[in-house]
Each structure stands twice: as structure tokens, then as C-alpha cells.
């Protein structure tokens, strides 16, 4: 099975590779640079659209499954939360999605988002980092334990279950 990831971001690609090692160890992974067709920092429901767009656009060049990962933010209970949506689309029309855990952003990051910054840029500005979205991300800096790869991995497994557990997934 050829699984194509709609991103060249190493963190996202590694999360998919690690997830596949657990559920489809013989799958091959191909990366594709695709446009999510959403704003650079998606908010709330726009995040779902971005992940699905990435998955659909990845379903090309002989790919059996396209995977899209989109990070987003949303206001809930007067707090700004960060999360990711993982979408998986099969050549046969099967679609599924899941989300990562959501986590509250501190006011220093939230204020930068309201100024129009993307979370990775805001994280770099607030915490004096460079390219954090290609490494630990805001979640890694805040938690000191969970980096972006880990945040995404289990959500990728959940998005992929119809492709590796078909008999259960169809009931």
C-alpha cells in the first residue's frame, strides 16, 4: 500500500511513518507538497477543510491512501486551544478523520494569533526559537514531554483505522 502525505514537513511525515509501523508496517510513504487552500493559520472548522484538502490532493500518482494533517486553533470557553486534524482518504472513496488532543495556549501566544500570526511564528517570537513548527512546536515547549510528532501519531492511527481494520470499520 502506498500512503501519500500532503506535506513535506518532517514532523508530520515522521508521525505518519511511526503510525504506519504500528498498523500497516509494509506500507510505503511518499511525501507531496500540496496547498491546503486555507489560511496560513486555520481557525476552528477551517482546520478540518485544510486537512481534507491535503488528503484529497495527496491521492495522486498511484497513491492508495492520502493523508492530510492540518494544525489549527480555536476559541473555546474563552481560551485559545491548539489542535490538529488528520484526514485519510482512500482511492476507493473511504474517508475518515480524527483530531489530536487539544491544549490551551497561554495568553502570550493567543495574543499573537489574534494579531494575525501563525502559531509556529508566534511560538518562535514568544519563546525565542527558530523553526519550532519543524521540531517540538508549541506543544513541546509548553509540555516539555509531548512534541508535535507524538501529538499527531495516535491521531493518525485513528484516522487510518478503516484502512487497516476494514471488517470492524464497516460495521
Write the pLDDT tens digit of every residue in 22-52: 999 999 999 999 999 999 999 999 999 999 9
Domain chopping of the chain, boundaries: 2-100+147-169
- Which among 92, 122, 128, 94 has a CA at the least distance from the CA of 108? 122
Tell me the angle at which helices 119-127 and 107-114 cross, rounded to the nearest 10 degrees: 130
- If 0-12 CB within 10 Å is exposed, 13-18 middle and 19+ buried, where does residue 26 land? exposed
- CB atoms inside a 10 Å sphere around CB 141: 17
What does the pLDDT look like over 124-135, one tens digit per residue? 999 999 999 999
55 and 34 Cβ atoms separated by less than 8 Å: no
Q: How far apart are CA 157 and CA 39, in angstroms?
A: 26
Give the three cell numbers for residue 35. 496547498
Q: % helix / strand / coil in the chain, to the nearest 5?
A: 45, 25, 30
Instruction: For the full predicted model, state whether its pTM sits above 0.85.
Output: yes
Question: Other C-beta atoms within 10 Å of 123: how many?
Answer: 27
Which set of grid coordinates corresponds to residue 47?
482546520
Q: How confident is the model at residue 167 (pLDDT cuts 50, 70, 90)?
A: confident
pLDDT for the residue numbered 170? 60
CA distance 35 to 37: 5
Q: Please give the CATH topology (third level) of the domain spanning 2-100+147-169.
A: Maf protein (3.90.950)
Residues 69-102 have pLDDT tens digits of 999 999 999 999 999 999 999 999 999 999 999 9
Amino acid at each position: 500500500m502506498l500512503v501519500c502525505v500532503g506535506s513535506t514537513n518532517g514532523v508530520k511525515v515522521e508521525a505518519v511513518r511511526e503510525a504506519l509501523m504500528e498498523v500497516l508496517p509494509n506500507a510505503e510513504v511518499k511525501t507531496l507538497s500540496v496547498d491546503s487552500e486555507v489560511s496560513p493559520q486555520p481557525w476552528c472548522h477551517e482546520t478540518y477543510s485544510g486537512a481534507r484538502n491535503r488528503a484529497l490532493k495527496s491521492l495522486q500518482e498511484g497513491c492508495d491512501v492520502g493523508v492530510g494533517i492540518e494544525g489549527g486553533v480555536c476559541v473555546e470557553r474563552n481560551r485559545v486551544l491548539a489542535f490538529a486534524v488528520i484526514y485519510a482518504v482512500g482511492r476507493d472513496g473511504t474517508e475518515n478523520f480524527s483530531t489530536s488532543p487539544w491544549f490551551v495556549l497561554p495568553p502570550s501566544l493567543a495574543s499573537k494569533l489574534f494579531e494575525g500570526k501563525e502559531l509556529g511564528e508566534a511560538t518562535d517570537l514568544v519563546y525565542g526559537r527558530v523553526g519550532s513548527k519543524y521540531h517540538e512546536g508549541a506543544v513541546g515547549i509548553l509540555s516539555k514531554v509531548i512534541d508535535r510528532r507524538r501529538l499527531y501519531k495516535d491521531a493518525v492511527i485513528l484516522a487510518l483505522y478503516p484502512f487497516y481494520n476494514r471488517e470492524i470499520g464497516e460495521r
